[in-house]
Chains A and B, each alone.
Chain A
Amino acid sequence: MEIFFQNIFNALQWGSFYALIALGYTLVYGVLLLINFAHGDIFMVGAYIAFFVATFLLGSYGVIDPGTFTGPVIVALAIPATMILTSLVGVALERIAYRPLRDKGAHRLYVVITALMCGLLLENGNLALLGASRKRFPDLLEKTVFSLGGISVTNLKILVIAAAIGVFLLLHFIVTRTKIGMAMRAISYDKFAIPLMGIPINNVIVFTFILGSGFAGLAGFLFVMSYPVLDPYMGAIIGWKAFIAAVVGGIGDIRGAFLGGFLLAFVEIGVVAVFPSTLRDLLAFSVLLLILWWKPTGMFGMPQTTKI
């Protein structure tokens, strides 16, 4: 029974990472109908930025005296810094690679391929510049273990899960209750009529990329705090899986991405708990395939109607 609850907390933690990344996919997709395949690598870049920000604040580069800040202060300072820097990366990609193509009226799949290439560029550029040796993220928070009736939960796990839920609620609020959220929904509804209504379409798109990449940065930070080894390919697999989670939830829908992320994590952890771990990908993806067979547009996706 204790193992069962332990696994549930593990699944919640992994689900939070998947959900945070899947939210970025789904935001960009909802607005632009673009599968931003570079998003997993933006997560990786976020993790590296988190590493450099944290070591900078710890005083590794000689600008700040070591010991100026304590661990929790560093976390509090580094999270916003990481999110801002990562969102700059995302906006730069949009500005340099995607927008010129969009303005030329290229087929949307060419933009998808460009996104794939940008992802490869980030991955290998990182590998080439920083070298293949893996970096170790410093321990910032003292590990506290809460135990509730035999179930032990670290403070980090609670932080991760709380962050995912908080981000979800915030995004849900932004999309459904604010003016810019209304503009985002409007663009996904009709991209041609919206500029005529005086809505600055490019600003809204940039805002979407800021949100998506910022939360990818947050996910990167929380991920390396939990699993403190950084390598350039860490974003690739998580990114693909989060994308799959977003689609199973119903891509373009925030609730879908959130639940899809947790669903994928629960399936994966559940498989590992029962079967040998080499079967994880096989069974997890088979379950997702079955879900898509059963509901072809995902859990929250609307059936697409075609006008004749």
Chain B
Amino acid sequence: MQKYSFKALLLAITVGFVLAVHFQLVDQYVTTVAMLMGINIILSTSLNVVNGYMGEFSCGHAGFMCVGAYVSSVLSVLLFTKDRVFGPALLPEGFAVIGVPLVILIGGVAAALAGLIVAVPSFKTRGDYLAIITIAANYIIISCLENMDVIGGPRGFQGMKRVVGAMEDVWDIPWMPMLVLVGTILSVWAIRRFVSSTYGKGISAICQDEVAAEIMSVNTNKMKLVAFMLSSGLAGVAGGLFAHVYGYVNPQSFNILKSTECLVMVYLGGMGSLSGSVLSAIVFTLLIEALRFAIPALNALAHQLHMVPASYEIGQVWKWVVLPLILILTMQFRPEGFMGKKELSDFFPFLKKFYQRLED
């Protein structure tokens, strides 16, 4: 019973959430925020593989997300729906039910291949020089897509809503919330299994001392390749989900600012702490959404107290002033992020005990 308790809990959450969305117990806004949260969790945990566990400084994560988003959306529009540019659907629209998850995975594979741009130089380059290569990769990917006029160029690409619509025609359940939840759980699970396996411990070894790791028979080049490809591949999956949730992608929505968001989530949670990354992704998403409501309230309060001139309105611009301020202050009080290098079970020993008893 204990052995399956965690999995049962996850399953219950997934089924419960999907049912709640299906019977419209939660409104559209909450659903969107929850889906965004899931996507952010995938992004922060996957970046944590490289930035936390391997100790590199990759700051072009949004670039790989962009590859995944574009590949999966172009494929799904090409295969499952009629489009002005691509012509009629190549496959019957009903196939979308099986096809879209597959297409999102293919987007992930494409992003993993794009990760090679960064992974191969990392054999020789380390530290801040690698950071530059990741930034340059991000710029190169965005610039490439902006120059492809077939898929919209800087105007962006759309049509994924029709594919999701086709899925709902086959079977009327909330497909995207379900896919996002399943994708989130599977990626966190995959990363967890990877970094705690004997094979995956090689990346922590590289973080601590590359030469010593090499001597201890860790194939460092291969480990770097695997870590970068896993990280960028999962970012691609997140991108594919993002594209299908919003139904519209634009190269500029994956610019360096998005990469910064990913970085913030990783370092806020703590380098090398998976539960920290999950937690910080949730907190970060909620913070952004909370500020959306907090700022008009703040505006009203400030006008009530005559703290600002009557002509001046505190607008939503202040969201991006308050948010960095909160994060800077958080860093001052917890300079190692929420969790440091620890996991949730280190803070709550009963969790550890609960699951250790299984092994006896």
Complex: how many Å from CA A120 to CA B264?
12
Closest to A276 in B: B147
Q: How far is the CB of B303 from chain A (nearest CB, A)?
A: 16
Q: CB of B318 within 8 A of chain A?
A: yes
Majority-rule SS of A interface residues: helix
**Interface status of A1 (Cβ within 8 A of chain B):** no
Majority SS at the chain B contact face: helix
Q: Cβ of A58 < 8 Å from any Cβ of B?
A: no
User: Contact at A124–B267, with CB atoms within 8 Å?
Assistant: no
Within 8 Å CB of A124, what residues of B? Answer: 317-318, 320-321, 324
In the complex, identify which listed stretch (A3-11, A189-197, A206-214, A284-292) lies at the interface while the others stay far away. A284-292
Complex: A118 Cα to B337 Cα, angstroms:
17
| Given A114-B331, A292-B129: A107 in contact with B147 (beta carbons within 8 A) | no
Residues of A within 8 A of B320 (CB): 120, 123-124, 127
Closest beta carbon of chain A to B60's beta carbon, Å: 11
Q: Which of A118, A125, A247, A306 contacts B128 (CB 8 A)?
A: A247
Report B7 CB to chain A, min CB distance, Å. 34
Binds B, one of A62-70, A144-152, A296-304: A296-304
The stretch from B97-105, B119-127, B219-227 touching chain A is B119-127
Q: List A contacts of B114 (CB < 8 A).
A: none
> In the bound complex, do residue A285 and residue B264 qualify as a contact, i.e. CB atoms below 8 Å apart?
no
A49 on the interface (CB 8 Å rule)? no
Q: Determine how close the nearest CB of chain B comes to the CB of A239; give it in whole angstroms.
A: 10
Proximity string of chain A (95-138) to chain B, C-beta cutoff 8 Å, 1 when within and 0 when not: 00100110011110110111011101101110110001000000
Q: Which residue of B lies closest to A102 (CB)?
A: B335
Known contacts A281-B139, A285-B136: A118-B324 contact under CB 8 Å: yes
Cα-based distance from A286 to B336 in the complex (angstroms): 35
How many residues of chain A are within 8 Å of chain B by beta carbon? 49
Beta-carbon contact of B321 and A110 below 8 Å = no
The CB with the most chain A CB atoms within 10 A, among B131, B144, B260, B324, is that of B324
Please state if A113 and B263 are interface contacts (CB–CB under 8 Å). yes
Q: 1/0 per position for B322-353, CB-CB distance to A under 8 A? A: 01110110011001110000000000000000
Minimum Cβ distance to chain A for residue B209 (Å): 8
- Does the CB pair A308–B267 fall under 8 Å? no
Q: Give the residue of B117, B133, B321, B335 whose beta carbon is less than 8 angstroms from that of A106.
A: B335
User: How far does the Cβ of A28 sit from chain B's closest Cβ, in whole Å?
Assistant: 12
Residue of A nearest to B337 (CB): A110
A104 to chain B, nearest CB (A): 5
Are A278 and B147 in contact, with the CB atoms below 8 A?
Answer: yes
User: Is residue B271 within 8 Å, beta carbon to beta carbon, of the partner chain?
Assistant: yes
Interface residues of B in 204-223 (CB under 8 A from A): 210-212
A285 contact set on B, CB distance < 8 A: 136, 139-140, 143
CA distance A107 to B210 in the complex (A): 18
Q: Is B282 an interface position by the 8 A CB rule?
A: no
Q: Contacts of A109 on B, CB cut-off 8 Å?
A: 51, 57, 267, 271
Q: How far is the CB of B123 from chain A (nearest CB, A)?
A: 9
* A56 neighbours in B (Cβ, 8 Å): none
Given A116-B264, A296-B121: A282 in contact with B324 (beta carbons within 8 A): no
If A121-B325, A281-B139, A285-B136 are given as contacts, then 9 extra A-B residue pairs at C-beta distance below 8 Å, sorted by A number, are A106-B335, A117-B264, A120-B260, A121-B328, A124-B324, A128-B315, A128-B321, A278-B146, A281-B140
- Ranked nearest first, the 10 interchain pairs of A and B with the lowest CB-CB distance are A106-B335, A282-B143, A124-B320, A117-B324, A296-B125, A281-B143, A121-B324, A247-B132, A128-B317, A285-B136
Q: List 30 A-B contacts (CB under 8 A).
A: A29-B128, A35-B128, A97-B332, A101-B331, A101-B335, A106-B331, A106-B335, A106-B336, A107-B336, A113-B331, A114-B328, A117-B324, A117-B328, A120-B260, A120-B320, A121-B325, A123-B320, A124-B320, A124-B321, A251-B129, A278-B143, A279-B143, A281-B139, A281-B142, A282-B139, A289-B136, A289-B137, A301-B129, A304-B127, A308-B211
